[in-house]
Amino acid sequence: MEECSKELFARACKVIPGGVNSPVRACHNVQSSPLFIRRGQGSHLFDVDGNEYIDFVLSWGPMILGHNDPEVTAAIAQAANFGTSYGAPCQAEVDLACEVVETMPSLEMVRMVNSGTEATMSALRLARACTKRNKVLKFVGCYHGHADPFLAAAGSGLATFSIPGTPGVPACVVEDTLLAPYNDLEAVAALFTQYPEDIACVIVEPVACNMGLVLPKEGFLAGLRKLTRSYGALLIFDEVITGFRCALGGAQSRFGIDPDLTTMGKIIGGGLPVGAFGGKREYLEHIAPAGEVYQAGTLSGNPLAMAAGLATLRKLKTQDYATLERRTQDFARELESILKSKKVPVQVPTISSMFSIFFTDTPVKDFATAKTADQGLFTTFYKQMRAQGIYLAPSSFETGMLSFAHSSEDYTRTLEAAAKVHF
């Protein structure tokens, strides 16, 4: 007898903390329990209870081509026939590195790792080594993975659980982490004035996706570039979500900014565990064994993961990003007007193939304003949409994603479901 989601979750809770391998999947913030997924196909997920969903989470970003894309799955299967890991260089990692360097405008070199967390953790170490400075400036509500230095006030899961930092991170580790509100250039300038020679880097989500979707204000990213240049700090674009999604060349190509370092994840692995950090040669050549900054990983450059990433990026070069963006905009506009007709405060920001839903009329420009959104309304919306077969991110601090596999019928069905929600 196959176990249902509830039975699986009960068994999981006995052996896995919280029954999940990543907190946000537990759906605590929307008073729900997680669905256990049996399989994904295109824009749909199928849970173990026999239900089908239109998927707007897409594994938190990687599945921009949709689930079980034939080319990607075939590439993984073919690679698997040659073994799963060598712990030695293979052609696939060179091919993927070349593909990434060709695709992301600012990159001259790249190092593969196994997650976005590893990518940002390594990029921070590199920035500190290259500048011989210790302080890192990040933005409240931006999430850069769970490496200690970033958990001073992270977005994503931590924001959902409203934990300002987390136990287990020594105060000495986050005392070099400076915080500024997103979109607040004056606050950044003030920190540089206060610490003119101590800031190794500014790390930023060029489009913030971990406090819900918050777009950079006109001039914000260019202002960061100018300030970091003038104070000798490195600018790190955390493109773990925006890379290959905001545009094929990421947010840096969309906004025309030239960061010193870029971190990547999610799409770069086509659904398998891959992260990467890259940037100018003059910096990357400090990374061991070329240079003295130690960074390593048993499964970095894993042949199956590289094959999945390569198949994904090569296929993305043939996709029509402009049409996907237009469809996302139309969908978000329609969704916003349906929800407004229900006399609730709501805004549905969107950019490229991303959107989020804030139940507030306060213009959202940073984490403080994102937090004005009514979580109760979001929970009501989430539950009633899931009951109608629409799989949304279980938190208003996450970002909804669309894929090239989503069909016009998916959009129509989702909007019809939204029209039936009652608050």
CB 18 to ligand KE4: min, Å: 12
94/97 Cα distance (integer angstroms) = 5
User: In whole angstroms, how close is the CB of 275 to ligand KE4 at the nearest point?
Assistant: 6
Distance of alpha carbon 150 from alpha carbon 147, whole angstroms: 6
Which of 104-112, 114-122, 187-195, 250-258 is the region at the interface with ligand KE4 (rule: CB under 6 A)? 114-122
Gap between the Cα atoms of 56 and 264, Å rounded: 21
Which window, 80-88, 116-124, 359-367, 384-392, contacts ligand KE4 (CB under 6 A)? 116-124
Q: Is the dihedral of CA 7, 10, 14, 20 positive or negative?
A: positive
Choose, by CB under 6 A, the member of 116, 250, 309, 349 that binds ligand KE4.
Answer: 116
Task: Sheet containing 37-41: give its strands across.
Answer: 37-41, 44-47, 52-55, 390-391
Looking from the CA of 60 toward its CB, the CA atoms found within 13 Å total: 22
238 is catalytic: yes
Q: Is 93 in the site for ligand KE4 (CB under 6 A)?
A: no
Mask 201-220, x = binds ligand KE4 (CB under 6 A)? ----x---xx----------
**Per rule CB under 6 A, is residue 398 in the interface with ligand KE4?**
yes
Report how far apart, in Å, the C-alpha atoms of 280 and of each of 114, 284, 392 are: 21, 6, 37
Place of tokens 């979580």: 375
Region binding ligand KE4 by CB under 6 A among candidate stretches 8-16, 82-90, 101-109, 235-243 = 235-243
What are the beta bridge partners of residue 112? 276
Shortest distance in whole angstroms from residue 292 CB to ligand KE4: 25
Task: Mention every residue, 6+ apart, whose C-beta is less than 8 A from residue 122.
Answer: 111, 113, 277, 287, 295
**Scanning residues 239 to 268, which ones bind ligand KE4 (CB under 6 A)?**
240-241, 265
Biggest alpha carbon–alpha carbon distance for the chain:
65
CA-based nearest residue to 215, from 178, 242, 179? 242
Stretch that binds ligand KE4, among 85-93, 115-123, 322-330, 338-346 (CB under 6 A): 115-123
Instruction: Give catalytic status of residue 217 as yes or no.
Output: no
374 is catalytic: no
Q: How many residues bind ligand KE4 (CB under 6 A)?
A: 21
Catalytic residue among 238, 260, 366, 410: 238
Catalytic residues: 143, 238, 266
Contact residues toward ligand KE4 (CB under 6 A) are 22, 24, 60, 115-117, 120, 143-145, 156-157, 205, 209-210, 238, 240-241, 265, 275, 398
